Chain A
Amino acid sequence: MTTNKISAEHLTYKRNRHLILDDLNLNVQQGHFIGLLGANGAGKTTLMRLLNGVATNFTGTIQIGASESIVDRKQLSSFSESLKGVNANRTLHQIATDYAIMYLDFSEKAFENFTNKYELDCHQKLSALSKGNRKKFATALTLSRQTQLYLLDEPFEGIDSMTRKRLISNMIAWKPAAATVMISDHHVNDVVNILDEIVVLKDKHVVAHRNTEQLREETGMSVEAYYESFYEGSATDD
């Protein structure tokens, strides 16, 4: 029964002879909001790149549903980082049109919906956007595809807390029951209420994978305190 799972087994990844992930194992059921937590440099973005199929030179296996191949995984997942490398002189509307050509599952109607709710002006050029609006735009593009796994890398960076709350409400109302949304963040409290599960990355491994409600019930700890307990005694670069 691997069809409704996302998994990484014995995943090892090096970049420039530098070990980034070392024999990492992760197995999640589809359909949840999952928080990918870890200090800067813990490998959160790398893991997302690997799941999505952008990063390739790894050993081990990665599966989304029953699919292992990189081509399939690119289809089965939508990643917020794919905005990188886009010509910043193009307008949001033009970029979305390019996306619709690249990804058959991209819904322009959904995109219009998100940009309205996010208060983005699609006639603006990408280069004219503030950091927060650029993040919102990346999220809108990512979620406008209809696929199984959504990978959002620090989607709330540079976004004020009121807007963040609105975006999160929006995401809750939007998420199809079968879809999985993985959100990386190093400020746990930004997103903690919507997370079904957390995965903590540290020292090139998954050091914890817990259901948030069980965690609260069993330990009486806040998710943030639990997360921070992995970093006690060591300074983070945050």
Chain B
Amino acid sequence: MEFDDKVPIYLQIKQYLYQAIITGRLKSGAQLPAVRQLAAELTVNVNTVQRALSELIQEGVLVTRRGRGNFVTDDIKVLIELKNRVIATELGTLYRQLADLNLSAEEMKDAFAQYVDEQEAHHDHQ
């Protein structure tokens, strides 16, 4: 994994784990590798990984079981909320950038819908 050195690494690790959970690479209830192993895999420092995991535990996305390690929550509500939260963050960025171009709400919706259709069509041709 490549990191952007301008952004705190722990935030990037959180994003990386969010994505793994949302896409199902890390399944609900699955155990995470040990902190040290995760750090070695990502070639980042153990404290940084620990900080990312601590925040995920606070958010309830991960649960820690004494002596056994960290697991992805099996609370579906939390996982749905997580997915919605990540989607909202991405859309928020897009929304602000389009708003900066002075697009109206209608124009934004149309442009986005059209873009999605084009992408799908493009995809089908391949």
Chain A contact residues, CB within 8 Å of chain B? 32-33, 165, 168-170, 172-173, 175, 177, 189, 192-196, 212-213, 216-217, 220-225
Contact = CB atoms under 8 A, between A and B. Distances in A.
A224 B6 CA distance: 9
B75 to A, nearest CB: 29
A22 B98 CA distance: 54
B40 A216 contact: no
A169 B43 CA distance: 5
A172 B36 CA distance: 7
B44 A216 contact: no
A170 B5 CA distance: 21
A173 B45 contact: no
A193 B45 contact: yes
User: Chain A interface secondary structure, helix, strand, loop or mixed?
Assistant: helix
Question: Which of under 10, 10 to 19, 20 to 34, or 35 or more describes the interface residues of B?
Answer: 10 to 19
Interface of B: 3, 5-10, 36-37, 39-41, 43-48, 51
Contacts of B41: 169
8 contacts: A168-B43, A173-B39, A195-B45, A213-B8, A216-B6, A216-B7, A222-B5, A222-B6
A111 B41 CA distance: 22
A224 B46 contact: no
B44 A194 contact: yes
A117 to B, nearest CB: 12
A130 B39 CA distance: 30
Contacts of A217: 8
A102 to B, nearest CB: 30
Contacts of B43: 165, 168-169, 172, 193-194
Chain A to chain B: the 9 pairs with minimum beta-carbon distance, closest first: A222-B5, A173-B40, A169-B40, A216-B8, A172-B40, A222-B6, A194-B45, A193-B44, A213-B8
Given A170-B40, A172-B40, A213-B10, A223 B5 contact: yes
Contacts of A169: 40-41, 43
Contacts of B5: 189, 192, 216, 222-224
B39 A196 contact: no
Contacts of B6: 216, 220-222, 225
B40 to A, nearest CB: 4
Contacts of B51: 213
Given A169-B41, A213-B51, A175 B46 contact: yes
Contacts of A221: 6
A196 B40 contact: no
B9 to A, nearest CB: 6
Nearest to B36: A173
B37 A173 contact: yes
A165 B44 CA distance: 10
A33 B47 CA distance: 10
A172 B45 contact: yes
B9 A33 contact: no
Contacts of B8: 213, 216-217
Contact of B47 (A192, A196, A224): A196
